[in-house]
Amino acid sequence: MQFVRAPDENVYIPPFNLIEMVVAVLLEWWMDKKTYERVNDWIMGLIYSPLLVVAAYSETRTAADIKQNRLRGDEDDDTIEEWEQMQDQVDFEREGWAKKVQSVRSNVEEEPCVLEVRKLAAEVEELKKLLLDISKAVVNGDAAEGNGNAKGKGKKARKGKKVESAAPDAAAEGAGTSSSSESD
């Protein structure tokens, strides 16, 4: 069926597309379009007619069987397939198949783009919360440093040097802890 959607007007399914190539090479370049399309239709009818006759025969027999079953009050399909015979031997719930099928089942009711946008919106909200928590922690940390400053410098004086002064303080603290732990 994927070949039916091809941009070509005369679609030959494989392996009959080899015939299409021969027909196109021999006829398309010199025939007018209407005649070429008619020749293509004849060739396709000749090629596909045996397959269509077999399909029509099979469908007619199936329809007759269904009609007979309905007249008797039976179900449409009274043939028991092999997988139906083994149904009582396999427990899909216990083996976890139902959960696996549910986890890979596609959502055809909503567009994939809408689902991705919703997922992205949730991630943005989470990112906003993290940034808000970080900014609160930084503001609270600056307030605690401003109150405990022995030299009396206020928050305004340290505001511009906050990033620069944080690294040496951390390095000094790290060096102090490592030297004290080595002496222990």
For the entire predicted model, the pTM comes to 0.36
Task: Name the residue with higher pLDDT: 34 or 182.
Answer: 34
H helical segments located in the chain: 17-23, 33-72, 82-85, 92-95, 97-104, 112-147, 155-158, 162-183
Q: Angle CA(79)–CA(83)–CA(87) in degrees, nearest 5?
A: 105
Burial class of 19 by CB neighbour count within 10 A (0 to 12, 13 to 18, 19+): middle
What percent of the chain has pLDDT above 70?
71
pLDDT band at 66 (very low <50, low <70, confident <90, very high): confident
pLDDT band at 5 (very low <50, low <70, confident <90, very high): low
